[in-house]
Chain A
């Protein structure tokens, strides 16, 4: 009983220590971000590296989700004679939810793991230590540009996902099933609000960008500098970032779309 209590206490203390440590790390990233923005070419290189590398998987997934969404929604709506709402439902589902969330989950798996491994291997190869000894703070030179790059990339990728998804839905609904094309587009134009739907979707994906990039960088920077350490850190990145995105999605949805 005493042992169990001691273990629980140790676990709680370790957890609290890690939480405090990560909070300080987050504040450091914010602190170094303005300086990174002033050297915008570093951020741009990261947007290119992070965004470009994720583009194919994001576009392919968006297309597949658009196909399936159109098919499933059509069968559900046609039963009630509401097939003309297909365009609206597909659009709202993608722009408000699936675009930001699925993009973030794919981002955590694709770019997040890549960031963690890159930073972890830089640490293992003493590259970060070398930078420190050159009087260059790696948090400012290496981490902050990646942090901003991730936050900028995520909404762009989410928009790509939603756009390709809507095009995929168009292919299935209009070209294959025969839903009226004018109806498909006009109901979107009429009922989708740029600020409420699209704007909130972009805000959501920017928040997910903060979560995924922060988790990936923290795990990489704090990893044990061994092959096993880097392997564990990349796994933790996917698990923690994905859970963080799903949890935050519920909170943001409740805040953003609580009124009809």
Chain B
């Protein structure tokens, strides 16, 4: 576990969307204040669900989620909203408001949560857009921007209120190599300049290892397989860690969803 002061603690949490399937299975994680922590794992292992539990979208079935000393899983709506004002989340596909312009998307949380004059909101929005390199795109409609640009606009919106915690859901998915490098540098730079705590959920191991201070690896059964600093994980001899980092098809993680033998499904009998 990281030794720095803890902002978020997830203690023996289990969760399933219904009783038949458990997504997270008795996981314990700690996220250090002011650091970039990556949560790695294959598709469907519960990484995004973990972010939603931290934001209090769903209550944990078992265990507890603590944000800066406050229980999230037992908080009422008012407490949750107070907590959510301290965090920003970047959704995988941006989740931008399609009826608003780029400028209005970034201005949205400022207009809703502050009584700042419009001239000041304009300055803040332009500064946030400048930080993601899109100040020139301010007047564009969302339908006019590319997927990579949408992600950066969503990032500008997520940091509009200077949150203490920024959660990134698959920030590198679907980006070209240049945009990926730019996004990774941006996350690190934002974290260092604002002093925020960053959580990155991703399956891009190499990109995450370049910018994160600490990482957790989740298995497809929703358990923590390994955790440590990037250099520690690179040196790990754990077969699942080796398979995930090396991107190898064979290993403890099975590529195929459980199924009867192919010959049986095709009706081929010896």
Contact = CB atoms under 8 A, between A and B. Distances in A.
Question: Contact size class for A?
Answer: 10 to 19
Contacts of A23: none
Given A130-B89, A133-B57, A133-B89, A125 B82 contact: no
Given A134-B112, A135-B113, A141-B112, A129 B95 contact: yes
Contacts of A130: 89, 91, 95, 97
B17 interface: no
B109 A125 contact: no
A134 B85 CA distance: 6
B67 interface: no
Contact of A126 (B85, B93, B108): B93
A132 B56 CA distance: 10
Contacts of A129: 57, 91, 95
B98 interface: yes
Interface in B51-98: 55, 57, 80-82, 84-85, 87, 89, 91, 93, 95-98
A133 B108 CA distance: 13
Nearest to A125: B95
B85 A132 contact: no
A127 interface: yes
A137 B80 CA distance: 12
Nearest to A140: B112
20 contacts: A121-B98, A126-B93, A127-B96, A129-B57, A129-B91, A129-B95, A130-B95, A130-B97, A132-B57, A132-B84, A133-B57, A133-B84, A133-B87, A134-B108, A134-B112, A135-B80, A135-B84, A136-B109, A137-B81, A141-B112
Given A127-B97, A134-B108, 7 more contacts: A127-B95, A129-B91, A129-B95, A130-B95, A133-B87, A134-B109, A136-B112
Interface of B: 55, 57, 80-82, 84-85, 87, 89, 91, 93, 95-98, 108-109, 112-113
